[in-house]
Amino acid sequence: MTELSPIANAIRHYKLNADGGYEEWSKVPCTPAYRMHVPSQGFDVQGAAEVEEVIFGWLSEQGAKQTLLDIVELGENVTCFLKIENADGTEISMTEVFQIVDGAVNEIWAL
């Protein structure tokens, strides 16, 4: 991992401490109406309250544990490569792309 901007470092910190759940994620600067898309689960949520309820509710329900494999920053985008393991031992590879606007997360695609 190369030197990262402050927002990319905040995302990296969260990913390395994802077991802290929404409380840890809430430390990452986000725009007020940021969106998160998770097409594989049919999620398209907006704002902190929906992200906490839908995304973090689902992660908790699944017993999901995230492992950050790499993080790459290119311009106004930060990409995280993850391994996610569910409580039943199922592992999936996931890529998350964060769009950054004025130093804050504006949109996230979890693919």
pLDDT of residue 63: 92
Burial of residue 100, with CB atoms counted within 10 A of its CB: 0-12 exposed, 13-18 middle, 19 or more buried: buried
Q: Which residue has the tokens 């907006």?
A: 46
Helix (H, G, I), strand (E, B) or coil at 96: strand
Rounded-to-integer distance, Cα 2 and Cα 21, Å: 25
Whether the predicted pLDDT of 1 surpasses 70? no
Q: Global pTM?
A: 0.93
Check if the beta carbon of residue 86 is closer than 8 Å to that of residue 63.
yes
Q: 71-80, pLDDT tens digit by residue?
A: 999 999 999 9
Q: 15-72, pLDDT tens digit by residue?
A: 999 999 999 999 999 999 999 999 999 999 999 999 999 999 999 999 999 999 999 9
